[in-house]
Amino acid sequence: MIISRRKLLQSLSVLAAAPWFLRGVAYAAQPMRIGVLGAGSLGSTVGSLWVKAGHEVMFSSRHPEELESLTRELGPRASAGLPVAAAEFGTVLLLAVPFVAIPQVGHDLRHLYAGKVMLDSTNPWGASDSEVYREALDNGVAQTVNRYFAGARLVRAFSCVDAYVVATSGRRSGGRIGMPIASDDPLAMQVAAGLVRDVGLDPVVVGNLAAASVFQPGGPGWRVHLTAPELRHRLYLPADA
């Protein structure tokens, strides 16, 4: 999807109305209980960094026994379970399953994520003729996930960076990577910003869920792996976003 400069500026205009506390302020995240839905490359990387930052994390898989070596290595703040257990455990959730699984996971866990902050990292990446891919192409990725996870306090986060880059951002010679985040929920965005900092990245508040199109696949912020100032410049964001 190619996004015009006009559409980009329109969608970013919501940022001008963003409350001051979302702009350029450092957040000190308190230790939290986080449920990771999908502990593959992205989920296990981000979740492991959260454990190291002091959070309690339950990683999930349909085969949780396969996560035993990961959790043993991470120590007592890490555990493993089925997706339903992780969704129950977390006051905050990270959604990191393949995009084709979105409708099924959204339906299966619908009684568990309502009212919870959910960081959504998913993308319709690669070829698929599934209905949910078509929907994301037509309506936007964020809006599609939001529809299948109605009631969750959704924040697009960790979606447009490579897991390897997340793992190495803190010790990168060119400076920490900027992570675009977007949400319709200001307080959920604040929680997400703290959790982004905790893994060694700098949050860049892009705007509401509609504005997240600028960093979905095909957008100018997709997998660019820039520092926060470079990313703001690329996305026409103010310096304190």
Ligand X SMILES: NC(=O)c1ccc[n+]([C@@H]2O[C@H](COP(=O)([O-])OP(=O)(O)OC[C@H]3O[C@@H](n4cnc5c(N)ncnc54)[C@H](OP(=O)(O)O)[C@@H]3O)[C@@H](O)[C@H]2O)c1
Q: Summarize as ranges the residues that interact with ligand X (CB under 6 A).
A: 38-43, 61-63, 83, 96-99, 101, 104-105, 121-123, 125, 158-159, 161-163
- CB of 162 or CB of 230, closer to ligand X: 162
- The Cα–Cα gap between 218 and 234 comes to 14
Q: Which two tokens stand for residue 5?
A: 């400069």
Contacts of 208 (CB under 8 A, 6+ apart): 14, 182, 183, 184
- CB of 41 or CB of 128, closer to ligand X: 41
Q: Residue 142 CB, nearest distance to ligand X (Å)?
A: 13
Q: Residue 239 CB, nearest distance to ligand X (Å)?
A: 26
Q: Which residue is nearest to ligand X (CB)?
A: 40
Q: Residue 124 CB, nearest distance to ligand X (Å)?
A: 8
- CB of 99 or CB of 133, closer to ligand X: 99
Q: Residue 156 CB, nearest distance to ligand X (Å)?
A: 10
- The Cα–Cα gap between 32 and 191 comes to 10
Element spanning 84, H or E = helix 83-89
- CB of 96 or CB of 235, closer to ligand X: 96
- Report the phi/psi class of residue 42: left, alpha or beta, with left for phi > 0 and alpha for psi in -120 to 50: alpha
DSSP assignment letter at 219? S
